[in-house]
Structure 1
Amino acid sequence: MEQKEMMTMSDFSYRLTRTLDAPVAAVWQAWTDEKQYEQWSYSAPGSVHQDVRPGGAWTTTVVDPAGNRHDIKGSYLEVEPERLLVMDMATPTGSTVMKLELTDKGAGTEAVLSQDCASAEERDMAEQGSTMLLDSLTAFLAAS
């Protein structure tokens, strides 16, 4: 069962909601285990490094559909296992904060991904990238 929804929080923010056919523990592992994250996140092989704790750093090199490589890095601001990840990340215009909230829905997990951005262009690009991530995560979990 998959559900998509977009709710605008402000002019330069987005919020995406998915109901995933996987338990919270599996979704959490997919997002926080380096080897699993690399498999579905469009990351270049060997580029994912995660220190999943408040203040811990994370890095990845994302390869977009055109083959362009984008180095992304940040840190974890809040970590509540199987419930919440709040991450900052460096962007060309400064930094931004992304939040992943997980809710156990019995047979599945509701995942809410939101981000505040500095401009409409940044928001649109980030929302498109996050939609691709959630699509890929959904496929990864279905195949697991």
Structure 2
Amino acid sequence: MTTTTRGEGGRPDLDLTVSRVIRAPRAAVWDAWADPASLEQWWVPAPQVCRVRELDLRPGGSFRTELSQDGVEFGPHITGCFLAVDELERIVFTDALVAGWRPAPTSFVTAVITMEDHPDGTAYRATALHRDAADRDRHEELGFHDGWGTVTRQLAALVEVRA
């Protein structure tokens, strides 16, 4: 079961979190993040389609995805930079920076993804950190709980079938 909450991160007043035990080894969950073809299969809520343009999974590396409603015309989704990458444990990215630590024109969120061993597979947690309560509230209104919950379920379905 996927759980979404308000305030599980370091700043309960500003953070939104989705967590789930995924019944697959941590390496399989990590690989679904690290492989662009796998990421495209789960990174946006179906029936939308994702295209990974850049996935340089290292601190300072580019993270750029596009999104399509019809699978034909794609528009921007995430344009950001990885801040921290601890293999098999943690991925931190933000849209406040782009590749090479360059400032982005606008920013909305920093995300912290963690993976830990669990007796049933992998304890997966994704936390969205926001600048202020207004951004957090806007993210909730845009559908954080449904959207991030959906993609976490899609991630679980992908790796659990493979496991």
TM-score w.r.t. the length of structure 2 is 0.74
Alpha-carbon separation, structure 2, partners of 1:38 and 1:48: 10
* Residue identity opposite 2:146 in structure 1: Q
Conserved? CA contact 1:44–1:60, under 8 Å: no
Alpha-carbon separation, structure 1, partners of 2:88 and 2:109: 22
Q: Please state how far the C-alpha of 1:15 moved relative to its aligned partner.
A: 1.3
Conserved? CA contact 1:56–1:76, under 8 Å: yes
Q: Which moved more, 1:96-105 or 1:110-119?
A: 110-119
Deviations 1:45-87 (A, max 9, x none): 643420000100111112359x984432111101100000010
Q: Which moved more, 1:79-88 or 1:100-109?
A: 100-109
Conserved? CA contact 2:51–2:67, under 8 Å: no
Match runs of 1:42-53 below 5 Å = 42=44, 44=49, 46-53=51-58
Alpha-carbon separation, structure 2, partners of 1:127 and 1:3: 10
Gaps of 5+ in 2: 97-103
1:6 and 2:23 matched: no
Q: Which moved more, 1:85-94 or 1:108-117?
A: 85-94
Gaps of 5+ in 1: none
Change (3 A) 1:30 1:53: same
1:121 and 2:138 matched: yes
1:19 matched residue in structure 2: 21
TM-score w.r.t. the length of structure 1 is 0.82
Alpha-carbon separation, structure 2, partners of 1:104 and 1:139: 18
Change (3 A) 1:92 1:120: farther
Q: Please state how far the C-alpha of 1:94 moved relative to its aligned partner.
A: 2.2
Conserved? CA contact 1:37–1:48, under 8 Å: no
* Residue identity opposite 1:32 in structure 2: A
1:81 matched residue in structure 2: 87
Larger radius of gyration: 2
**SS in structure 2 opposite 1:18?**
strand
Q: Which moved more, 1:51-60 or 1:124-133?
A: 124-133
Conserved? CA contact 2:36–2:52, under 8 Å: no
